[in-house]
């Protein structure tokens, strides 16, 4: 089972929830602790809570075209097919713009002169290793200045195949664009962590649309709850989104998390709450 933790809005507590859920599940299934993927490749930080030891690392590269000018007749077929305009034929020169290239390979396949070869262009790295409580941990890290997070997330997901029956937790990036869709796609359940503010609700609405578009059932965790916020409850009721857990706005939690402690370190009773929540999700038809 794959559960993805997303939010829309940044800073709602995705990683706090994901890491404590992982630790709670490791206790529930000690013979097979979960697989944890930090898919927030622009700013991965779940390792700060789960302390993995990196044992393996792999570069993520896109295959980008390299044009042999001696063979190129400047016919323009490559430029015509490229929907990202990453290759242009300008008079007697064919230019490649690596940062626009999505690595689809169409130009290489269609070149009638076979003048294009593909060369790897590094954009980031994926790494893995065992973490706290026997959790299998992996993350992607996008290189600074690289514009595309999606290939790094895809490679991470491909690299980390779960064992039979192993639960996978994916910590998604904030937002609702391509990297989030890549992290969410293929999940069995989406946990949306929100905060009871107009900002949290605004972005939750967007995240719920992503879930609906991808046809993935979702539930809500309200973090930093500080008294009733009717608009959020009304929205969840209207969308038939179950509110699975409410975490109060509490100084002890804020202080503990700020020191790098997990929620289940700060309040061990959350272990049972996360396990009950998991059982509830896993028993969905």
Other Cβ atoms within 10 Å of 177 Cβ, number: 12
Residues 39-78 that bind other proteins (CB under 8 A): 76
| Nearest residue (CB) to other proteins, 20 versus 182 | 182
* Binding residue for other proteins, selected from 17, 50, 86, 111, defined by CB under 8 A: 86
Q: Given phi > 0 = left and psi -120 to 50 = alpha, else beta, which region is 202?
A: alpha
| Nearest residue (CB) to other proteins, 91 versus 227 | 91
Q: Is 97 in the site for other proteins (CB under 8 A)?
A: yes
Query: x-or-dash pattern for other proteins, window 108-147, by CB under 8 A?
Result: -------------------------------------xxx
Q: Is 84 in the site for other proteins (CB under 8 A)?
A: yes
Q: How far apart are CA 222 and CA 224, in angstroms?
A: 7
Which 8-state DSSP code applies to residue 112? T
* Binding residue for other proteins, selected from 28, 29, 61, 88, defined by CB under 8 A: 88
Q: Angle 230-238/198-214 helices, nearest 10 degrees?
A: 10
DSSP 3-state helix, strand, coil percentages of the chain (rounded to 5)? Answer: 35, 25, 40
Binding span for other proteins by CB under 8 A among 24-32, 85-93, 121-129, 240-248: 85-93
Q: How far apart are CA 68 and CA 78, in angstroms?
A: 13
Residues of the shown chain interacting with other proteins in the complex, contacts defined by CB under 8 A: 76, 79, 84-86, 88-91, 93, 95, 97, 99-100, 145-148
């Amino acid at each position: 089972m794959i559960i993805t933790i997303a939010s829309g809005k940044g800073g709602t507590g995705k990683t706090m929830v994901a890491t404590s859920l992982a630790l709670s599940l490791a206790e529930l299934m000690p013979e097979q602790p979960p697989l944890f993927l930090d898919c927030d490749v622009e700013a991965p930080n779940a390792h700060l809570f789960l302390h993995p030891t990196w044992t393996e690392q792999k570069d993520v590269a896109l295959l980008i075209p390299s044009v042999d000018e001696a063979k190129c007749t400047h016919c323009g077929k490559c430029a015509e097919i490229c929907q990202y305009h990453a290759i242009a034929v300008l008079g007697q020169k064919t230019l490649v713009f690596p940062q626009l290239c999505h690595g689809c390979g169409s130009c290489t396949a269609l070149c009638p002169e076979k003048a294009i070869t593909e060369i790897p262009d590094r954009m980031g790295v994926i790494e893995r290793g065992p973490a706290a409580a026997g959790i299998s941990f992996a993350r992607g890290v996008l290189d600074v200045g690289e514009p595309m997070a999606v290939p790094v997330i895809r490679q991470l997901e491909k690299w980390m195949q779960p064992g039979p029956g192993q639960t996978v937790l994916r910590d998604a990036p904030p937002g609702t664009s391509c990297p989030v869709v890549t992290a969410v796609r293929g999940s069995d359940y989406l946990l949306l962590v929100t905060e009871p503010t107009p900002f949290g609700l605004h972005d939750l609405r967007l995240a719920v649309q992503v879930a609906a578009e991808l046809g993935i059932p979702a539930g809500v965790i309200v973090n930093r709850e500080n008294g009733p916020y009717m608009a959020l409850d009304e929205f969840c009721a209207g969308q038939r989104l179950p509110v699975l857990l409410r975490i109060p706005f509490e100084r002890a939690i804020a202080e503990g998390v700020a020191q790098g402690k997990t929620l289940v370190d700060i309040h061990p009773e959350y272990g049972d709450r996360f396990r009950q929540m998991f059982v509830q999700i896993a028993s969905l038809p």
